[in-house]
Amino acid sequence: MKPALVTGASGFLGWHVARVLLERGYRVRALVRPGSRVDALDVECVTGDLRDAESLERAVAGCGLLFHVAADYRLWAKDPGDLYRSNVDGTRNLLQAAQDAGVERVVYTSTVGCIGIPPGGIGDEQSPVALQDMAGDYKRSKFLAERVALGFAQGGLPLVIVNPTAPVGDHDVKPTPTGQIVLDFLNGDMPAFIDTGLNVVDVRDTALGHWQACERGRDGERYILGSENLTLAQILQKLARITGGKAPTLRLPYLVAYCAGACSTAWAGVSGHPPRVPLDAVRMAKKKMWVTHAKAERELGFSPAPADEALARAVAWFSRTGLRPVQTPAA
């Protein structure tokens, strides 16, 4: 059996995708940047960079499957061009290498941010969307990268696209923005919330959905991998029930959040340090990113669990790994 190449295996979702492949008997080759590693998994690590085409040719050589999960996932960058070089140019470099190497199947990980959301409604794979609908450079770069992937599929590369929503669970090492919500709640750093909504899904279900897309997905098609549409207030209430803590009750007006994001991002431009409140994150929060995974359920057999267990696993993992401060009981 030829090995499967996974990009992003040192990160959150990619780690879980690699685990799913190992459980199914595949040899997994992981593309990692210099100095990175893949914890607790028996994988072959090869050093490379999405912006280095020659390193990608070496990484993909002899592989039968490619799962391109890696992305520069930042809602602020001192040089926004880095996002486009990694996400757009890097995707083009990798897919060209895969095509030249005769890879038999490619799963490209896009994002729910590339799904159109009708006003006040629920988005699906057919909802109209355009580049001007993308808030911020991260979303714009992923939208353009998805178009690159679709172009390769139309050119004959056997490629399927998955659009994960907001995965949550264990091994969120960075953490992701969704994991940061959990971490902020645990650390008492979320005294208020804004009226927004997202679709939350167990990262383990999302990783399994990648495999199901590889097995059953139609070339050139997109599949939303999500589960529950929840408001931020509902997510915080679930976390309160899991931890025995108290959910914040103060709802912050959008204008106040926008001003905080603008100030925080302006200072980041001066200091060079990432903003505590990225303005692009605030802009994204203005729209409830609610979608349906009905197509993936129908065509792939994707059947995600509710978000509660994944949120509980995230709480346990953050607590166990020490990414939250240890609370000293009062005497």
β-partners of residue 67 are 6, 107
Pairing mode, strands 4-7 and 65-68 = parallel
The CA angle 211-141-94, to the nearest 5 degrees, is 50
Number of neighbouring beta carbons within 10 Å of residue 263: 14
Query: What is the token pair recorded at 252?
Result: 């912050």
| E strand spans, 196-325 | 197-202, 222-225, 228-231, 250-251
Q: What is the DSSP string of 72-111?
A: ---S--SSTHHHHIIIIIHHHHHHHHHHHHT-SEEEEE--
- Whether 261 and 203 have beta carbons less than 8 Å apart is answered as no
Query: What is the token pair recorded at 71?
Result: 């992305």
SS3 (DSSP) at 34: coil
For tokens 């295996």, name the residue: 9
- Which residue in 184, 234, 229, 207 sits closest to 302, CA to CA? 207
Query: What is the token pair recorded at 274?
Result: 């990432």
Q: How far is CA 169 from CA 13, 67, 134, 311, 318, in A?
A: 10, 20, 26, 6, 9
Buried b (16+ CB within 10 A) or exposed e, 50-79: beebebbbebbbebbbbbbbbbbbbbbbee
**Helix then strand then coil, % of the chain, to nearest 5:** 45, 15, 40
DSSP one-letter code for 181:
H
- Which residue in 254, 90, 284, 36 sits closest to 178, CA to CA? 284
- Of 84, 138, 254, 258, the catalytic one is 138
- Which residue in 205, 207, 211, 203 sits closest to 171, CA to CA? 203
- Specify whether 84 is catalytic: no
Q: Which residues are identified as catalytic?
A: 138
